[in-house]
Amino acid sequence: MFQRRRLQTIGVLAVVIAVSSMLSVHSARSAPARESAVATSPGKNGLIAFTGYLDSDRKTGAIITIGVNGKGRRQITKPDPGVEDSDPDWSRDGSLVVFERTGSPHAIYTVRRDGSGLMRLSPECTYSGPDLETHCEDGAGGSFLPDGSGVVYTRATGNVREFPNGEGWIEHSDIVVRDLSGGNPRVLLRSPPYGGDYRSPQISPDGKRFAYVRANSPLVNPAGGYALFVARADGSEQRRITPWSLVAGFDPDWSPDGKLIVFQSYTTGVGKQSQSYVIRPDGTGLRRLTHFKPGTAVLSASFSPDGKWITFGKSGVGGQADVFVIRVNGKDVRPVTRTARWDSGPDWGPGSS
């Protein structure tokens, strides 16, 4: 498998056994239950799209849609065995879903809400020799631009540098925009060489800024740090908005009015119990939403289009993740799915007007 970066685990050490298969070198996306940015457009609440694993080993995952009442579950992608479709994000009009598909390399795709019209946006890789990462682009974590004209995602390219601690870091981690034909790539932001990963990009509802997670390599201070950043839409004026001590990650999502960003804390699987938080895009107003007990897996979240709810993944039936919803005030947690297999990475789409 096309591996580049060490993936972050979820929750705390008490859930490491449950998610032990999620660890690898630093790769664009190479293990189950990874999460990515999921944009929410203002409007009426519609279906929730998420990754549903089709096997107990979490090796094959498809994009599923479901109503908030838990009814109408429908599989809209058909991955081959051993392939994961993950990190769905709805277009503003609800006609398309963008997602990531594992492979050599990983790639960004779109599909219509009825499962038709599958289309690859990131470039095909025809190279089959050694050192694949130096010849082909690895794409991860796609989300739509507010006007629906394209997608933004993380592109990993270049050589891999191994460090004494056993980690391998990719040379270039870029935040890139492409149009819906897969053409006209434009780099918004590029990491320093071997400096870390720029993950989970998402443009604000007004199109003026984007949020992303920065994961530092051993070359960048603080080494191994995770934090949430906001930059202008052209990549300038990057600003960290969460403290390094909070180990913020797992894919920020803007509220439909652009006034809040939801994210998860302590996402490396080491230290304190992961929780869900919201913060203003200027770094003020940090507020904790959840108070889950130690050992709870807490995964990425998305605002509802009406801005009143948040959907997220957390430990559910049999210790496997399920999709839940919670009010923006942190009250009234409700399950959406209750399955014996892993459901996570939800994005709440728009309803019909």
Residues, the chain: 353
pLDDT of residue 42: 66
Neighbours of 16 (CB within 10 A): 16
In DSSP terms, which residues pair with 350 in a beta bridge? 45
How many structural domains is the chain composed of? 1
Q: Is residue 7 part of a domain?
A: no
Write down the pTM of the prediction. Answer: 0.88
Residue type present at position 197: D
pLDDT of residue 40: 63
Q: Is residue 138 part of a domain?
A: yes
Please list the rounded mean pLDDT of every run of 10 residues in the chain (353 residues): 34 33 36 44 87 96 98 97 96 96 93 97 87 86 94 95 93 96 95 96 96 96 96 96 92 94 86 92 97 93 96 93 96 96 96 73
Q: Is residue 8 part of a domain?
A: no
pLDDT of residue 217: 97
pLDDT of residue 249: 82
For residues 97 and 70, the answer to whether their CB atoms sit within 8 Å is no
Q: Is residue 240 part of a domain?
A: yes
Residue 100 sits in a domain whose CATH number is 2.120.10.30
Domain region containing 132 = 13-350
Q: Is residue 1 part of a domain?
A: no
Is the alpha carbon torsion for 337, 269, 309, 100 positive or negative? negative
Q: Which of 198, 224, 136, 167 has its CA nearest to residue 23?
A: 167
3-state secondary structure 213-227: EEEECCCCCCCCCEE
Is the alpha carbon torsion for 84, 162, 229, 226 positive or negative? positive
- Dist CA 316 CA 312 (whole Å): 11
Q: For the chain, first and last CA: distance in Å?
A: 43
Q: Is residue 296 part of a domain?
A: yes
Q: Is residue 3 part of a domain?
A: no
Where would I find the H helices in the chain? none
Residue 188 CB contacts under 8 Å (≥ 6 apart), including other chains: 152, 174, 175, 176, 177, 201, 210, 231, 233, 234, 235
Residue type present at position 163: F
- Dist CA 139 CA 54 (whole Å): 23
Render 324-345 in DSSP notation, one character per residue.
EEEETTS---EES---SS-EEE
Neighbours of 346 (CB within 10 A): 29
Q: Is residue 6 part of a domain?
A: no
Q: Which of 333, 285, 284, 293 has its CA nearest to residue 313?
A: 333
